[in-house]
Amino acid sequence: MYLLKYSDFCSFFLKSWTLRMASSVLNQAIGRFHCFSPLDKSHDNRKLGSDLVRSPFKGHKFQVSGLKKDTRRSSSIRASASRSTVFDPVSIPSKSTSSESQKKSSNEAALILIRHGESLWNEKNLFTGCVDVPLTKKGIEEAIDAGKRISNIPIDMIYTSALIRAQMTAMLAMTQHRHRKVPIILHDENERAQLWSQVFSEDTKKQSIPVITAWQLNERMYGELQGLNKQETAARYGKEQVHEWRRSYDIPPPNGESLEMCAKRAVAYFKDEIESQLLSGKNVMIAAHGNSLRSIIMYLDRLTSQEVISLELSTGIPMLYIFKEGKFIRRGSPVGPSEAGVYAYTRRLAQYRQKLDEMLN
């Protein structure tokens, strides 16, 4: 019966989400998505202006930094709490200064990484990259199962890529969380989106989790391989050549990104935007893609370029890290068969789970 209920939901979800997100994704493509070829020199001098935009949660502003001519070619969304805010439980704290970071480094925070569930092009064995395709029924079930695994882990903020398969995974996973907070995507693509998506109820805000989408967390851009069948591509170019494109660290496919290029943007965004939230004690979930997550894990676990190319991440299997005293400690295995086998609870997480038990019983 559970799956039957979800079949109706999933059908509605896919139709409504696709219509609602289409405009958002197109707008993000201008100045934020940047899935152009990293080899295309015509983009070197592209510059975007900066502007202040309003968050859907009253009393907050986001500084949208334009694309600058630098080695990362990244834009970022920097959030800061307005002084006029009295109380907003879903506020995004400003970046800590170095002295503040040292004081807060003893805070313990949870970091959850989830690779999106199976997509329609995964099912068809096609190179997907930055093409925006949704989840299959199996992918939806994987996302729901991932949510069950993290249902007792605190989550204060969610980051996803700009691609719908990662966003669907995050949203579906949160339907299983025992705290029952609602994830809300923050829209800043234009003034109307900001104004129309504001939340005016303090009680509602208390039961909400901000979701930030970032193109920097997108899958590696596969260039001219996108949309091609993997098996047919291997037959055309040779297995060794395709394996080199897929598994080498610094060799990109034609007009695409290498893992090294993907890591440059994904890790830079993680260090600039997400790590500061962990320093402040915020518990963060990232729903993204195989290569962007491998890049981040390379940074967290201090892997070499040779070690990261052999790292495999299963779809829909969450991985838990604890951030404490400036260090990332892996506490969960991506292949654990059950919650007990995956997560070694810290004292803080055990206390959080106990509070959930008390609240729901």
Q: Binding site for substrate, residues?
A: 115-122, 128-129, 165, 219-222, 230, 246-247, 290-291
In the sheet that holds 76-81, the strands lie side by side as 51-54, 60-65, 76-81
Residue of 189, 219, 257, 275 with catalytic role: 219
Taking alpha carbons only, the member of 75, 73, 76 closest to residue 39 is 73
Where is the binding site, in residues?
115-122, 128-129, 165, 219-222, 230, 246-247, 290-291
Residue 116 catalytic? yes
* Bridge partners, 212 (sequence order): 159
Residue of 34, 60, 116, 187 with catalytic role: 116
Q: How far apart are CA 306 and CA 101, in angstroms?
A: 32
**Which residues are known catalytic residues?**
116, 219
